[in-house]
Amino acid sequence: SKSYEYILTSTPKPGVGQVTLNRPKALNALCTPLIKELNEALNDFNASDETSVIILTGSQKAFAAGADIKEMAPLTFSEAYTKAFIESWSLLTTQVKKPIIAAVSGHALGGGCELAMMCDLLYCTDTANFGQPEVKLGTIPGAGGSQRLTHAIGKSKAMELILTGKSFSGVEAEKWGLAARTFPTYDALMEETLKLAETIAGYSKVAVQACKEVVNKSQDLGLRDGVEFERRVFHSLFGSQDQKIGMKAFAEKKKPEWTHS
Ligand code: CAA
């Protein structure tokens, strides 16, 4: 695999690609070159026939401590505007069709929290440290935090967190519905994230991609349009081989052998 400066890539199990943010000296602060590498690695996993699902993680101490404050500090309005600063961060929400699981331990602040929320599903440790502290720096969340946090936990809580910059724990993230599950230790987090990824990698890639697509559509569409969109995609899956294989295997009490087509 390629060698990067700020990230590591691996394939911990068949079908499972992993990107580990690896800029320990800055607690994985998300500088522009890091984001560039992240996008490249995610695009490679997305394009690979060997990959069904992607894990995005950091270290035990930090998922990511936010955008790189030192890089950002001198930016002018016109530079930020004309270079569309931060826009490339969301490529993972538009280009990657395979599910991305965020495994969050330690700090997930500002852009780190936002990056975790861009993923399709979030697992964390009980003591993970989430927050949108931008107000303390004289600015606001800039990578979707005000929108995704509000969608996930509701307006009142999101408003409180964003106006105060206060952190919240992994336990709270799970209680409020931002995290799917939380774990008492880092090892348990990584072990259970891998198990989840293996489960997903055991299904038809076609069905898995469609599951991701329809659930994410619910964030953008009203209920009526969303249900209609889902039904169209559901209908289209009758055109896949794996739907026939899956349902035949059920009737014959056998394990399906997916063709991923
Ligand atoms: N950008 C740049 N460098 C950062 C950083 C960041 N977001 N977060 C941490 N670092 C650097 C520190 O400057 C320090 O570097 P030096 O050793 O060269 O001084 C190193 O990482 C270790 O950090 P600390 O010594 O501060 O570690 P700590 O354990 O005492 O504190 C922390 C950890 C509470 C996370 C603290 O580092 C912190 O508050 N970081 C900033 C968090 C933040 O405000 N994030 C939001 C950024 S704005 C944003 O993200 C905008 C957006 O919406 C896109």
Two tokens at 151? 């969608």
Closest CA to 6 of 31, 29, 23, 30: 23
Task: Report which of 105, 106, 155, 113 is spatially closest to residue 134, judged by C-alpha positions.
Answer: 113
Look at residue 226 and tell me if it is in a domain.
Answer: yes
Residue 236: which CATH number?
A: 1.10.12.10
Question: What pLDDT does 72 receive?
Answer: 96
Residue 191 domain-assigned (yes or no): yes
Q: In what order do the strands lie in the sheet with 51-57?
A: 7-13, 15-21, 51-57, 100-104, 121-125, 181-183
Query: How far, in Å, from the CA of 143 to the mean position of ligand 1?
Result: 17
Given a cut of 90, whether residue 137 has pLDDT beyond it is yes
- Whether residues 174 and 77 fall in one domain: yes
Please give the ipTM for the structure prediction. 0.98
Instruction: Check whether residue 192 and residue 228 sit in a common domain.
Output: no
Domain identity same for 154 and 211: no
Q: How far is the CA of 92 from the centre of ligand 1 (A)?
A: 23
The arithmetic mean of pLDDT across residues 248-257, rounded, is 98
Per the structure, how many domains does the chain have? 2
Is 124 found in the same domain as 52?
A: yes
Q: Indicate whether 158 and 210 sit together in one domain.
A: no
Residues in contact with ligand 1 (CB, 6 Å cut-off): 26-27, 29, 65-70, 86, 107, 109-111, 114, 133-134, 137, 141-143, 145
Same domain, yes or no: 184 and 92: yes
Are 38 and 2 spatial neighbours (Cβ–Cβ below 8 Å)? no
Are residue 135 and residue 152 in the same domain, yes or no? yes
pLDDT (0 to 100) of residue 1:
66
Q: Express as a percent the part of the chain with pLDDT over 90.
A: 99
**What residues have CB less than 8 Å from 201, skipping those under 6 apart?**
13, 14, 15, 16, 52, 53
Based on the fold, state whether residues 209 and 196 are members of the same structural domain.
no
Task: Pick from 21, 22, 27, 146 the residue to mutate for probing ligand 1's pocket: most ligand atoms within 8 Å of its CB.
Answer: 27
Residue 2 lies in a domain: no
Kindly state the average pLDDT of the residues 65-86: 97
Burial environment of residue 8 by CB neighbours within 10 A (0 to 12, 13 to 18, 19 or more): middle
pLDDT reported for residue 2 = 82
- Domain holding 238, by residue range, is 205-251
Query: Which pTM value belongs to this model?
Result: 0.98
pLDDT (average), residues 150-169: 98
List active site positions.
67, 111, 114, 134
Q: Are residues 162 and 85 both part of a single domain?
A: yes
- The domain spanning residue 28 has which CATH number? 3.90.226.10
Distance 65 CA to ligand 1 centre (A): 5
Pocket test for ligand 1, best of 34, 69, 162 (most atoms within 8 A of CB): 69
Asked whether residue 129 falls in the same domain as residue 193, the answer is yes
| Per-residue model confidence (pLDDT) at position 174 | 98
C-alpha distances in angstroms, 68 versus 21, 34, 74, 109?
Answer: 14, 10, 11, 11
